[in-house]
Amino acid sequence: MPTALITGITGQDGSYLAEFLLQKNYRVLGIIHPESTVTYEYINQIKDQITTVNGDVNDEEFLARIIEKYKPNEIYNLAAFSFPPASWNYPVLTGEITAIGVTRLLETIHRVNPGIRFYQASSSEIFGNPREVPQRETTPFCPRNPYGVAKVYGHWITVNYRETMGLYAVSGILFNHESPRRGLEYVTRKIANGAARIKLGLANDLQLGNLDATRDWGFAGDYVKAMWLMLQQDEPEDFVVGTGQAHSVREFCDIAFRYVGLNYQDYVVVDPNYYRPTEKNSLVANPAKARQKLGWKTSVDLKGLVHMMVEADLEQLARQK
């Protein structure tokens, strides 16, 4: 039975990945920061099937003890200060966790067990203001916030440990991936939750920023399979993962409100305070390499994703009500 170690296991991606790996008959171990403010909500249904330990990915001695004790075959580094706009409020903390934490993990693997296969969660935020559309593995990086800058560091340090130290270390450049487990601070969940609240009479409007901003949105449950596939290849390589289709916030709103029988134009209020100071141009993936080499593909389209998210919020809010 192979063993996988997941940092950030309580988050959206970590919980979906843990479920996926359990289906693949892995022993799953998760690291949870002792001062983390996240809940265990997303892993409650599998808590009896996994092992969790409290610790800090910036503590190399702790990491060494965990690797020596549990002997993981694969490590998935999903831990990050992961909300890009808020990274301007905590730029140093963002760098410590999202950049330097990657180095500490890689160095510990190199020192303790260089045979471990390592996955680094990179992000489309590294492209920032992209130099070409769509973006592929060779598109130049141009991050536009501290989170994106930290992810560039994490990406390149992973490449360097692979090419210089000979580790099996890869980065998945994942574009926006959503689910009912997405945090309420993200615009997709904000829309889904807002539509559900308005439908249930719990809110009168929904305040958003730039409705014409576009993103490449997919279902998080599909994307964790790509993470796993990257660690099953003969040679380590980086991959762009996305749907290859860009959609606007306006379109997301339209689908969400139509699902509950409402017109978004009657309820959505544009507030300039929600505009990003450096709004990016079109971020959309060119996932050709992932499709060809990994055999990866999506199973949920945008409409299905939005409906899934709104329905989950309707059910949750109805229970609370």
Q: How far apart are CA 174 and CA 130, in angstroms?
A: 15
Predicted pLDDT of residue 88: 76
Whether the upstream peptide bond of residue 287 has omega within 30° of 0, thus cis, is no
Active-site entry in 26, 42, 76, 147: 147
Report the CATH number at residue 138.
Answer: 3.40.50.720
Q: Are residues 148 and 204 in the same domain?
A: no
Select which of 15, 87, 123, 179 is catalytic: 123
Q: Are 118 and 204 members of one domain?
A: no
Q: What is the mean pLDDT for each group of 10 consecutive residues in the chain (321 residues)?
A: 96 97 98 75 94 92 97 94 69 87 96 98 94 96 93 97 98 97 94 98 96 95 98 98 97 98 98 72 92 98 98 95 75
Residues 6+ apart with CB under 8 A from 180: 189, 192, 308, 309, 312, 313
Q: What is the pLDDT of residue 72?
A: 98
CATH classification of the domain holding 260: 3.90.25.10
Q: How many domains does the chain have?
A: 2
* Active-site choice (19, 74, 125, 251): 125
Same domain for 165 and 197: no
The parent domain of residue 135 ranges over 3-177+217-241
pLDDT at res. 97: 85
Helix (H) or strand (E) holding 22: helix 12-23
Q: How many residues does the structure list for the chain?
A: 321
CA distance 285 to 79: 23
Which residues, 6+ apart, have CB-to-CB distance to 8 below 8 Å?
14, 31, 77, 78, 79, 80, 121
163 assigned to active site: no
Residue 274: active-site member: no
Same domain, 149 and 233: yes
Distance CA 227, CA 119 (A): 7
Active site residue 125: yes
